[in-house]
Chain A
Amino acid sequence: MALAIDPLIRLNGISKVFHTEEVETHALSAIDLEIRAGEYLAISGPSGCGKTTLLSLLGLLDSPSEGSYVLAGEPVSGLSQAQRARVRSRAIGFIFQAFNLIGDLTVYQNIELPLKYRGMVPEERRSAVHGALDQVGLLHRINHYPAQLSGGQQQRVAVARAVAGRPLVVLADEPTGNLDSANGAQVMELLAELNRGGATICIVTHDPRYLDRVQRAVYLHDGRLVSDQPRDREVA
């Protein structure tokens, strides 16, 4: 498959080393990876291979020990904490395995949160929240608190929160890990639908069933990228 001329994300020679009590963990070594706009990518591999680490670098939660990261034409590997926060609020949407909704906030307030951090004006926030919530089919739960929702519903709210601000890329770390298969399938269907609508999505998963739904699967082993292949679905 030919490389896109202008990829949304380009990682070059990225590595990440954790230093803890005289032990060095090479979580990622010399990763080269490009993700095009509109792509639906899965990262998989055995436990401890570095998937979450990679996702945290992609999401600018952390900075690499080595290598360069260009996001939408902007080099972002050398940014300060504050700068990374700013980029994060505009360009990245996160979906977590543990949903990570904030318990004291209603569904509406949860989805609104990243929009607020981005500095969006209230009316725009309103319509964005409603649009996203409609997309995940939970408009009728808008004033509920997370504890009043089922796990699947919570994760759908989390999906709405990730996409409400139309980020450049949606990152999801095992979004179905805490769900039963029916709910998991529903969430994956939602992500596929978003992708069809043009969203760039990058998920971490080991579930082979879901790998079928993505355009491209990347395998990590021991912090190295060992395989990068397009999936059938893209062809279909």
Chain B
Amino acid sequence: MMDAFRRDIRFAIRGLTRSPAFTLVAVLTLAIGIGANTAIFSVVNAVLLKPLAYADPERLISLRARLTGDNAGGVASSAPEYHDYRRQVPGIEDVAAVWPININLTGHGEPERIQAAGVTSNYFSLLGVPPALGRDFTPEDDGGRIGYVALISHDLWQRRFGGDRSVIGKTVRLDDDPMTIIGVMPRGFRHPVESGASPMELWAPVDLDNPDPNFVNDRRAQFFDLIGRVKSQSSVERVQGELAGLTARLSRQYPEAYPPNLGWRAEAVSLAERVVGDVRPALLVLLGAVGFVLLIACANVANLLLARATTRDREIAIRTALGGSRGRLIRQLLTESLLLASIGGVLGLLIALWGTSALSQLAGLYLPRAREIGIDPVVLGFTALLVLLTGVGFGLIPALQASRPDLQSVLKDAGRGASAGSHRARVRGALVVAEVAVALVLLAGAGLLLRSFERLLAVEPGFNPENLLTLQVWLPWPNQPEKGRYFTHDQRLAFYERAAEAVRRMPGAGGVALTSRLPLRGRNDARFAIEGRPARSDEPPPTAEIRFVSPNYFETMEIPLLQGTGLPPVADRKGNATTVINQTMAEEYWPGESPIGRRLKLEDSDQPWLTVVGIAGDVRQVGLEQPAREEMYVSHQVWSGQQMAMVVRTPDRPEELSAAVTKAIHSVDPEQPVFSVVPMEQVIAEASAERRFSMLLLVLFAAIALILSAIGIYGVMAYTTTQRLHEIGIRMALGAGAQDVMGLVVGQGMRLVGLGLAIGLLGAWGLSRVLTSQLYGVSAGDPATYAGVAVLLGLVALSASYLPALRATRVDPVIALRSE
């Protein structure tokens, strides 16, 4: 048995070394196919398949609410809701609250803006991950809004403390409050729902059992992200059912917090679903696409094997004649293809190693769990499975074919002088058709994403993003805010104006303006009331995106003022405060009339009435692909919060001013971190990063598919042309010119390609539906895209059959007379 195996392997190696060109092309093709699949699978494995790295992760859930009235999901929770979930839902074992914040870290080095979270003291024990160094929180670790003790991430420990184990007990300052480090989390521990661009690096306890009446008692102060653990005898579905009951009870009990028109509803999903649910469709599309690439690779290799089998017919016939059984022959040929697949697999693994690191970098900014991407035993197993499947897949047809020499056609060919097309040629033709069809599906998908991306880039954001530097400043909010440097509006405003002034004085800086939030950097929703229009209880209250901006914001951003005036140079919060609204808001609330002079009031605040003084052009605040919402601008002199962004017009390359701008702001407050200093064009690029990722990969796969099918078509045409040389000689003897011969060969190729294109178009039309959610400004059945990719593939196929056709025209017609 072992002996036979060794003999087969030797036979296979001999066969492969005897035709090195074939072996090289086949191995490379398989390496690309297997490599690309392994790389994408490693992403799918890390992101979708691997259980979250917590204890019993399948029992972890995310608790959020949906506002059916607003059609909004993912609403965070309030402290009272946290208690309700813990105490009133039987299936829930425990709940931890997370309050993600962005915070200034000072002491031990440069001031830095880091991502941190106030968490209830049960957070780490609920996730089941103890610190690597130091101790976990206890219920006693309470210091008001944010405790005076903190745990830090492994990365922060390494970066700021050089991995020094004596870090325990050291003090840093967070938003000016002293904070003692009591522990370091293990390497690789991540907050479940962090963003790849800004991982969570510090945790401080926030005690919801000892409520600060200022905010934790308010049901509408919904800023806690809740992670729950389901009891082992319960399930997510059971908890979901129990939450429906809770929703009904709470809505009855607190009608002012949960007005019926809002449609507040508590929801639970598994934590894994919360983390990766959004990216699953895109990743599965990529996995499918790369699977198609592998199919094409297999078809190509099968084609090569079939071509080679023809030249080996004699060898095989002799073997059969000498008593080799059919089964044995099939085994030998399969050993050969498995050997090919294995070599391809090993090379593919190398490609995948390189590919996964590239992918995790490319995806790291937005793909959850991107840092976990890598080659692990599961991925290796997948690769091994691919090797086995492809080895059998592309090897079986040729092996079955080769073991059954086509005596019939041999007899006919020789005896009757007719060049009959053999069965094998038909199989090869069918492979080409399939290859072209699959390539077209990929190309159509890539084309659709590419066009979406193009459309997205062509979207006018509503301002001029060129030569514009942006940066962010968040002022500290210490535990006892009233003792902080930026407690009052006037303190904050003074800082912002001095900072803007310092930047304005810099050589090279043009206009400098301030805004509470940059476009494309998240929403800032405000409910408002219109004077003289009482709110209707059966409708959700009107909302708008609100931005507090310096009066020169419109001019600096180049947002056109369509009607009225801008914000006044000086405003105060007493009376006569003004607002500029955008065109969409004007048309929505004052259709056919002028909103100028009307008054608005922001809900639940001590804000004054705001008189509408102007209408500005729409800005894509929320996302490039989403049409502009209702937007309103209020002077930052009326209200300045802890968070402010600055935009600076520069003569050219904005990034060159980054360091100088930071320095200018530090001249006002050296302790104040200045972060996210990037050109506006990068802000826009980040807003489309996810699409770029999918688009780039799909385009890459489509390009590989295109190249592989070109190789496949070339291979088949070169082979059939060789088979037809005698026939071509006859035709030339009968008067066929070079064009006729060219047309004959190219025509044969294009018939296969045409069939493949037709099938591919049907397939693409059916399959492109899965892309619908990723498309923008183009429909899944976009005829122009389909026509475009079909023409592209047709042209490539044409060039691929051109070379064999050219060779055919060089046939010496004398061979017609000198038949074998």
Contacts and interface: CB of A to CB of B under 8 A. Distances in A.
Is A bound to B? yes
Interface string B709-741: 000000000000000000100111111111010
B735 A96 contact: no
Interface string A63-102: 0000000000000000001100110111010101111111
A51 B108 CA distance: 101
A3 B489 CA distance: 123
B735 A118 contact: yes
A46 interface: no
Interface in A81-134: 81-82, 85-86, 88-90, 92, 94, 96-104, 113-114, 117-118
Nearest to B819: A98
Given A85-B737, A147-B412, A96 B817 contact: yes
B817 A61 contact: yes
A113 B734 contact: yes
Contact of B735 (A81, A89, A100): A89
B582 to A, nearest CB: 69
Contacts of A52: 817-818
A11 B395 CA distance: 57
B416 interface: yes
A66 to B, nearest CB: 18
A62 interface: yes
Contacts of A151: 416
B420 interface: yes
Contacts of A113: 731, 734, 736
Contacts of B703: none
A178 B559 CA distance: 90
A97 B819 CA distance: 8
A17 to B, nearest CB: 14
B737 A89 contact: yes
B735 A117 contact: yes
A154 interface: yes
A181 to B, nearest CB: 18
Contact of B733 (A88, A118, A146): A88
A59 interface: yes
A216 B731 CA distance: 30
Given A96-B817, A100-B819, A113-B731, A82 B738 contact: yes
A55 B818 CA distance: 11
A85 B421 contact: no
Interface string A177-188: 010000000000
A161 interface: yes
Nearest to B415: A151
Contacts of B817: 52, 55-56, 59, 61, 94, 96, 173
A53 to B, nearest CB: 9
B418 interface: yes
A63 to B, nearest CB: 11
B735 A85 contact: yes
A194 to B, nearest CB: 17
A113 B730 CA distance: 11
Contacts, number: 101
B727, B730, B740 — most chain A CB neighbours (10 Å): B730
B158 interface: no
A94 B818 contact: no
Contacts of B734: 88-89, 94, 113-114, 117, 161
Contacts of A94: 733-734, 816-817
Contacts of B421: 103-104
A81 to B, nearest CB: 7
Contacts of A114: 734-735
B417 to A, nearest CB: 4
B445 interface: no
Contacts of B735: 85-86, 88-90, 92, 114, 117-118
B419 A104 contact: yes
Given A100-B816, A173-B817, A61 B733 contact: yes
Contacts of A103: 412, 416, 418-421
A146 B420 CA distance: 9
Interface in B53-78: none
B457 interface: no
A86 B813 CA distance: 13
A205 to B, nearest CB: 14
B738 A147 contact: no
A99 B726 CA distance: 12
A173 B738 CA distance: 24
A135 B253 CA distance: 105
B737 A117 contact: yes
Given A147-B412, A173-B817, A98 B733 contact: no
B49 interface: no
B389 interface: no
Given A94-B816, A97-B819, A147-B412, A85 B732 contact: yes
Contacts of A102: 418-419, 727, 730-731
Interface in B729-771: 730-738, 740
Contacts of B727: 102
Nearest to A57: B814
Given A59-B733, A61-B733, A117-B740, A99 B816 contact: no
Nearest to A100: B730
A81 B738 CA distance: 9
Nearest to B818: A52
A80 B602 CA distance: 90
A154 B201 CA distance: 87
Interface in B782-820: 812-814, 816-819
A100, A114, A117 — most chain B CB neighbours (10 Å): A100
Given A94-B816, A97-B819, A100-B819, A147 B420 contact: yes
Interface in B390-430: 412, 416-421
B274 to A, nearest CB: 62
Given A52-B817, A88-B734, A154-B418, 6 more contacts: A61-B812, A88-B735, A98-B819, A103-B420, A113-B734, A178-B417
10 A-B pairs closest in CB distance: A89-B735, A103-B418, A117-B735, A98-B417, A99-B417, A98-B819, A146-B418, A114-B734, A103-B420, A85-B737
12 contacts: A61-B812, A82-B737, A88-B734, A90-B735, A96-B417, A96-B819, A117-B731, A117-B736, A117-B737, A154-B416, A154-B417, A178-B417
Interface of A: 52, 55-56, 59, 61-62, 81-82, 85-86, 88-90, 92, 94, 96-104, 113-114, 117-118, 145-147, 151, 154, 161, 173, 178
Interface of B: 412, 416-421, 727, 730-738, 740, 812-814, 816-819
